[in-house]
Amino acid sequence: MKCKYYQKCGACLYDLGDYAASIKDKKAKLKRMFKEDFAFYAMDDPYHSRHKVTFSFYKDKGIIKSGLYAQNSRKVIAIKDCPLQSKTANALIASIDELANAFKLSVFDPLSRKGLLRHVQIRVASDDQKALLTFVLGEKIFPSSRNFIKELTKRHKEIVSIVFNYNFRHTAVVLGESDKVVYGKDSLEDKMGDLTFTISSRSFYQVNPKVAYKIYSDIVEDGNLSLDDKVLDAYTGTGTIASFIAKEVKEVIGIDNNPASIKNARLNASKNDIKNSRFIVGDALQALSDDYDAIIVDPPRSGLHEAFLNELIRRRPKKIIYVSCDPATFKRDLSKLKRYYRITKLKFYDQFVFSEHVEGLVILQCLDKGL
């Protein structure tokens, strides 16, 4: 499959016409970075695998368009029918652009801080049957919003929620501080395996659910957790990993500093009838203690904070399960952990197809504590 936006928009590093070549290059780069043997999981079909997208609005000769940023730039490249996004998201974007022009809406100007439309974030369920839309607005008043929503939802029955988010600042951060649900529910439900997850506009959830399911399944299969284990899931997000491992352990505690994510995590536990989990809003560092047999970490690209990593090593849990979205910080943290732990599994996943990024998983066993 070819992409007419290749080398224009900044979403893809590799030519979409040759998936095998992108995998070969990613493996080669990882082999240069990591001395250890590792496994690599690639998708059978990488196209239309992204289920979350954020498009930005701009005007071109008076016409409202939306798209993605060019590589290393704030210039927006108008995109239609992206081969990586879910087909549902592509159809929604086309309708939004059309209606924005039909309703003669304004576009936010970051210099004057005037104008309505800044971004639209679209989350689509794994089955492509449900969607949550978040419009990021630069003004409080959305002219004819009821008619706009009525027409959009008439065209797209898959929409289960529309949220208005207000961001009046001169910033590259997408979401502002306040939200208002203007249509449907405040969340989207997605099914992953036998589990159902509630996702809000602000909560963390993997963009590629098929690969995410593979990662979580591998944690269950290869984590060697036992029904005697008490587990801390740091950076828990909406509690996806905690929910997957709950049936394998005695108790799992999830912690995250995002209240919206913890709210969703608690709902997810209840929805899936999980009785042995608790979710707490707080700082992962403060949650570390000697009470845990295993600690799971899934940090942002910056990796583990130095203070957290040092305390994790000091506490020396029997097992560490580390999920990473950045090989460089993954290698940095792993180089310290290897002094006290042995690797029982190292695997990478093509979570972000055709981009430079990969997801990593390592399972570590403490050297002075047996299985």
Instruction: Select from 159, 151, 97 the least CA-distant residue to 122.
Output: 159
Tell me the two tokens of residue 45.
Answer: 């079909």
Give the number of other Cβ atoms within 10 Å of residue 192's Cβ.
Answer: 20
HSE, side-chain direction, 13 A CA sphere, residue 354: 26
E-assigned strand segments in 111-250: 117-124, 131-137, 159-166, 178-184, 188-192, 195-199, 230-234
HSE, side-chain direction, 13 A CA sphere, residue 8: 11
Separation between Cα atoms, residue 295 and residue 297, nearest integer Å: 7
Annotated catalytic sites, by residue? 325
- Coil, strand, or helix at residue 347? strand
Where residue 310 falls (left for φ over 0; alpha for ψ -120 to 50; beta otherwise) is alpha
Give the number of other Cβ atoms within 10 Å of residue 113's Cβ.
Answer: 12
E-assigned strand segments in 207-340: 230-234, 251-256, 277-281, 294-297, 319-324
